[in-house]
A and B are shown apart, each in its own frame.
Chain A
Amino acid sequence: MDIFGIPVQALMGQLLIGLINGSFYALLSLGLAVIFGLLNIINFAHGAFYMMGAFGAYLLLNKLGLNYWWALLLSPIIVGAVGVVLERTMLKRLYQLDHLYGLLLTFGLALIIQGLFRNEFGSSGLPYAIPAQLSGGQNLGFMFLPNYRAWVIVASLIVCLLTWYVIEHTRLGGYLRAATENPQLVQAFGINVPRMITLTFGFGVGLAALAGVMAAPIYQVGPLMGADLIIVVFAVVVIGGMGSIMGAIVTGFGLGLVEGLTKVFYPEASTTVIFVIMTIVLLLRPAGLFGAEK
C-alpha cells in the first residue's frame, strides 16, 4: 500500500525517526522555555551547554572511566553548576535591562565556550560509543529501530513530562510561577527568590546538558554540535510560544515529525521547513501556538 507514492512502511519508519529527533528538540526547547518563562532570559548559550553536556560524557569516560549512566547523572550536574556560576556572576546583573542584553551576553558566552572547546579538541569531533546495554536494535518489520534511539524517546518523554508536572502542578512550581509574576510579593512571604532563580537557571542548563549526553552516542561529540542545533530549537520555542512549557514539548515532538516527513517527500527542504512553519505561525499567531498574548 502506498500513500502519495511512498510505501506505508517507509512512511512509518520516517515518522518514528521524526519522533526521535523531536525528542531532542523537545528536551532542548524545554530548557529554553523554562529559562525564558521564569527568568525572562533568551539563553543563546543553550546550544553551548548542550555541547558541554556531550563533552562532559566524553571526558568522564576517557579521563575518569565513568560510563554512560554515570555521565547521564553527573554531566548535567556539572554543567548545571557552571550555569549557576555564570548566572551568579554575569546574568543576574542584567535582569533589570532589556531582553536584548541577556541575548547578547549569552550569545557571546556561546562563542567563547565553543571557541575554547574547538581549540582544545579540534573541529571534526570525537567518538562516543553507544552503551553496551543499549546497542543493537529491533527489527520492527517496517524499519530497524536501534535500541538506543528507543531509549532516547522514552527517557526524554519522561523528563519532559516530569518537568511540566513539577512546574504546573506542584507547590514548588507554584512558587516559581508566582515569583515570575511578582517577585517582591513572593519574597515578602519569606521565599528566597534570587536563589530560586539561580537554581532554575541551573536546572534549565542541566536539561540542555542531559540532551547533550543523550546525543553523544548518536552524533560526533564536537564543539559545533550545539551551534548547529540551536537555531532550530529557537524556532521550536518560538512556534510553541516563548515560555510555554507544554508548547515546547508538543511542538518539539510535532516539528520532529514534520521534519521527518519532509525528508521523505522533499529532502532538500528538510532543514528549512521548520522556519517556513515558524513564519506562518508568527503571521497568524504572533505569540506562538501555546503562548499567551501579553
Chain B
Amino acid sequence: MKRKLLCSLIAGIGLAAGGLAHAEVSGGVVKIGVLSDMSGPYADLSGPGSVVAAKMAAEDYVKQTGSKLKIEIVSGDHQNKPDVGSSITRKWIDSEGVDMILDVPTSSVMFAVAEVVKEKNKVLVDSTGGSSDMTGKSCNANTVHWTYDTWMLAHGTGSAVVKSGGDSWFFLTADYAFGHALEKDTSEVVKANGGKVLGSVKVPLGTTDFSSFLLQAQGSKAKIVGLANAGNDTINSIKQAAEFGIVKGGQKMAGLLVFISDVHGLGLQTAQGLQLTETFYWNQDDGARAWSKRFGERHGGKMPTSAQAGVYAGMLHYLKAVDALQEDADGAKVVAEMKKLPTDDPLFGKGVVREDGRKIHPAYLFEVKTPAESKAPWDYYKLVQTIPADQAFRPLKDGNCPLVK
C-alpha cells in the first residue's frame, strides 16, 4: 500500500514537472487528428492504415529522440464530404485541443479543412489530397502538402509515356475538380512533349460500368488510354479494359493516380504492364522495407501506400519542429519551422518543405510486374525511371502561391 502511494506520488510529481517543462505546448500534449475516409472508396489507401502510420510516428519519434513530448492521436471519418470534414476540424480544434490535422484525402475536403486550419492558426499536414492548387493559388502559411500532387502525377507519367512512344491519348476523366485538373495538367504535358490528345470523356464519380466509355476510347484509336480518376473508379476501368481487350488490341493504359492498394485489389493478372508514378514504394530500399514490415504486422499484413507513408513522415517532421520550438499553439510558426528544418526520414529520404508548403522529394515511374516476375506477396512494381526531386514537382515560381514573393 505504502509503495503504491509512493509510486503515485512520484508519478504525480513527474507529471507536474512535465507540465511545467512544456508550459508552451498547449494543454501539455501535442494532439493530432487523423482526418480521413474511414469507410468509403479511399479507406484502403488511407483511412485506418493512416491511423496506424500516425501511431507509429508518435512511438518512433519518442523512442528515437528521447523526446519528452506527450503525443495524443484522435481520428475521424470525413466521409469525403467537405462540410463533414470542416465541422470535425472545428470541433477538434475548438473543444478538444487538437493542434494538427493529418492525412485528409479528397481534394475538396482538403481545401475545406485548410480554410478552417488557417482561420484557427493550427497546422494541416496533408498527405493524401491531390490537387496541386494546395501549393498554388490556394496555398497558405498553415499547410504542408506532403506526398504527391496532380502536377507531379501528370508530369511523371505523362512525359515518360509520351517519350516511350505513347504520343496519342484519350482520357477517361472523373467528372469533378480532381479529375478535370488531372486531365488538364496531363494534356498540357502530352502536348508539350509532342503528343496529341484525341479526346476525352467525363465519367460521373461512382460509375461502376465503364464499358461505354472504354468503347469510346477504343474507337478513338489513341495509343494511350489515360485514366484521370482514382480509387475504385480506376480499379473498375482497368479491370473492364482488360475484359474488352483494350490492351490486347494494342492500346496501353496509363493510370495517373494509382495506389498499391488498387493494384493489390486488381491482382497482377489484370494490372500487369500498367505504368504509374509514385513517391514511395514499400520495397524500394532497406529503410522502407523495415518500416513497412512493422506497419504490415500492425495492419493485417497489408503493405503501406504512399499516402500512409506520407502520414508517417509528415508527422515525424511536424514533431521535430514542435520539439525545436517547444510550442505547438501557433500553427504558422510551427509550419515556418518545418520549412526551416531539412527533412530526413527512412521513407522519403532527405528533402525540404518549400516556401509554398510543398514537400520536395524524388518521384518514381513504376511498371506493374507480371505474375511471373512477382516473387513475394505485395512484390508488384519494377522501377522504370527516377525523377529527381528538383524535377518531380512544379517549379516554385509557376504555382502563383501568394506566399512566394
A positions within 8 Å CB-CB of B: 7, 9-10, 13-14, 17-18, 20-21, 115, 118, 122-127, 129-130, 136-137, 143-144, 146, 148-149, 218-220, 222, 224-225, 228-229, 260, 263-264, 267-268, 270-272
Residues of B within 8 A of A20 (CB): 211
9 contacts between A and B (CB under 8 A): A14-B212, A122-B302, A144-B249, A146-B244, A218-B239, A220-B265, A263-B212, A264-B216, A267-B203
Known: A219-B236, A220-B239. A17 touches B43 (CB 8 A): no
Task: Assess whether A222 is in contact with B232, with CB atoms less than 8 Å apart.
Answer: yes
Does the CB pair B44–A17 fall under 8 Å?
no
Q: Given A137-B245, A219-B236, A267-B202, does the pair A17, B208 have CB atoms closer than 8 Å?
A: no
B39 touches A270 (CB 8 A): no
For window 244-258 of chain B, which residues contact chain A by CB distance below 8 Å?
244-245, 249
Q: Which of B199-239 contact A (CB under 8 A)?
A: 201-204, 206-209, 211-213, 215-216, 218-219, 231-232, 235-236, 239
Among A17, A21, A115, A263, max chain B CB count under 10 A is at A263
Determine how close the nearest CB of chain B comes to the CB of A130; give it in whole angstroms.
7
Q: A220–B232 contact, CB under 8 A?
A: yes
* Contact B44 A122, beta carbon cutoff 8 Å: yes
Q: Which of B39, B43, B204, B209 has the most CB of A within 10 A?
A: B209
Q: How far is the CB of A81 from chain B (nearest CB, A)?
A: 27
B264 to chain A, nearest CB (A): 8
The answer to whether B212 touches A264 (Cβ under 8 A) is yes
Task: Check if B41 sits within 8 Å of A14, measured CB to CB.
Answer: no
The 5 closest A-B pairs by CB, nearest first: A127-B267, A263-B212, A124-B44, A124-B265, A123-B43
Partner of B213, one of A146, A267, A271: A267
Asked whether A124 lies within 8 Å of B267 as measured between CB atoms, the reply is no
Give Cα distance in the complex from A256 to B178, angstroms: 28
B181-207: contact bitstring with A at CB < 8 Å (1 yes, 0 no)? 000000000000000000001111011
A10/B219 contact (C-beta < 8 A), A126-B265, A127-B267, A267-B213 known: yes
Report B-chain residues with C-beta under 8 Å of the C-beta of A222. 232
Given the complex of chains A and B, what is the CA–CA distance between A137 and B47 in angstroms?
A: 38
Interface size class of B (residues with CB under 8 A): 35 or more
> B261: CB under 8 A from chain A?
yes
Q: Is the CB of B208 within 8 A of A148?
A: no
Whether the pair B215, A17 counts as a contact (CB closer than 8 A) is yes
Shortest Cβ distance from A125 into B: residue: B265
Chain B residues within an 8 Å CB radius of A268? 175, 202, 204
B270 located at the interface, meaning its Cβ lies under 8 Å from any Cβ of chain A in the complex: yes
Q: Which of B44, B175, B204, B209 contacts A123 (CB 8 A)?
A: B44
B138 lies within 8 A of chain A by Cβ? no
Shortest B56–chain A CB gap in Å is: 19
CA distance A271 to B261 in the complex (A): 27
In this complex, what residue of B is CB-closest to A228? B208
Q: Does B8 sit at the interface, judged by CB under 8 A?
A: no
Is the CB–CB distance between B270 and A144 below 8 Å?
A: no
Contacts of A130 in B (CB 8 A): 243
A217 to chain B: closest residue by CB: B243
Chain B residues with Cβ under 8 A from A14's Cβ? 212, 215
Residues of B near A218 (CB, < 8 A) are 209, 239-240, 243
Instruction: Flag B163-186 by CB within 8 Å of A: 1 or 0 each.
Output: 000000000000100000000000
Closest partner residue, chain A, to B205 (CB atom): A271
State how many angstroms separate the Cβ of A270 from the closest Cβ of chain B. Answer: 6
A270 B266 Cβ-Cβ under 8 A: no
Chain A residues with Cβ below 8 Å from B216 are 10, 264
A60 to B240, CA, bound (A): 23
Closest A residue by C-beta to B231: A124
CB B46 to nearest CB in A, in angstroms, measures 11
Pick the most buried of B41, B239, B302: most chain A CB atoms within 10 A of its CB.
B239
**Minimum CB distance partner of B45 in chain A:** A124
